[in-house]
Amino acid sequence: MEKIKGLLVAPFTAFTEDNQINTAVIPQYAALLKRNGLSGVFINGSSGEGYLLTADERQALAEAWVKEQTPAFKVMVHVGATCVEESRRLARHAESIGAWGMGCMAPPFPPIGRLEELVQYCEQLASAAPSLPFYFYHIPVFNHVNFQMIDLLKAVDGRIPNFAGIKFTYENMYDFNQCTLYAGGKYDMLHGQDETILAALALCDTKGGISGTGNYIGNILTGVMKAWDEGDLDKARQLQNYAQEVINVICHFRGNIVGGKRIMKLMGLDLGRNRTPFRNITDEEEQQLRRELEAIAFFGHCNQ
């Protein structure tokens, strides 16, 4: 299977004033990402508030994003849900509309306590759309499922034919590297933690990733990768450190899903508010967010 090169973005879901999904902004959104060197999107995941959407909303978003798909701009659809049958329906839909690939994180309920249950979960979802590459989304902070991913690869190898790789959003770089080495690099290991992308490039020879902050600093993160490829370690460090400065700011405003989404409004692309139970940024917090971004010259560095 084709491996992803470059960065995909986990886009936010836009909502109207009356809390309905807003697909009308997607062409403008996609153009922004393409203009800044991103290689595609992974929709309906954590940044997209996927678990707060109905199945019909998720399908409508997938259809709108696939219209923006090109050979150089892939659309991967997160199909995970608490109900396996709903996940399988979402997987079949992603396949039917021509999405490039699909993925899922472990379900939030019930908690998965054994690796075999996780393998069975992935197997049921992947088999619903056998023509699509399937990625597991490893993000223990959300679901507390924290097996060694090298063990997952060993368990699925030869068992799930369309298992393509893992979106790895966790600090365990040893496990990440072991996965990249497994079976001669058989599986596509996508780095998912923007604050350590340079470490992944250096240790693991990373070629691809899926980014949350890439919505607004994708040009910085792709710049890290380009500088590394060109052997300019000083520039790569400089850009990685700047990305961390931006991450330090969003940590003051409830992280990427809340603070990052409001940054998009400050950049001129209003994606609306977050759905309950997220605590939305107040007008006063928005003013403070702008001040903190201006203090690090963000608006001269962000995606244009």
| Catalytic option among 51, 137, 187, 216 | 137
Mean pLDDT across 4-20: 98
Active site residue 170: no
| Catalytic option among 29, 135, 167, 261 | 167
Active site residue 167: yes
Instruction: State the Cα–Cα distance between residues 137 and 105, nearest whole angstrom.
Output: 4
* Bond from prior residue into 277 cis (ω within 30 degrees of 0): yes
* 109 — pLDDT class (breaks 50, 70, 90): confident
Q: What is the structure's pLDDT at 20? A: 98
Assess contact for 59 and 86: CB atoms under 8 A: no
Question: What is the CA 285 to chain-centroid distance, rounded?
Answer: 25
pLDDT in tens, 220-236: 999 999 999 999 999 99
Mean pLDDT across 269-293: 98
* 281 — pLDDT class (breaks 50, 70, 90): very high
* Bond from prior residue into 108 cis (ω within 30 degrees of 0): no
Residue 95 has pLDDT above 90, yes or no: yes
Collect all residues with Cβ–Cβ distance below 8 Å to 163 and sequence separation of at least 6: 122, 126, 134, 136, 156, 157, 187
**Tokens encoding 300:** 């001269």
Transcribe 208-240 into DSSP letters. Answer: EEEESTHHHHHHHHHHHHHHHHTT-HHHHHHHH
Query: What 3-state class would DSSP assign to 117?
Result: helix
Q: What domains sit in the chain, N to C, each tagged with a CATH number?
A: 6-218 (3.20.20.70)
- The β-bridge partners of 53 are none
pTM of the entire predicted model: 0.97
- The β-bridge partners of 166 are 136, 189
Assess contact for 212 and 260: CB atoms under 8 A: yes
Mean pLDDT across 113-121: 96
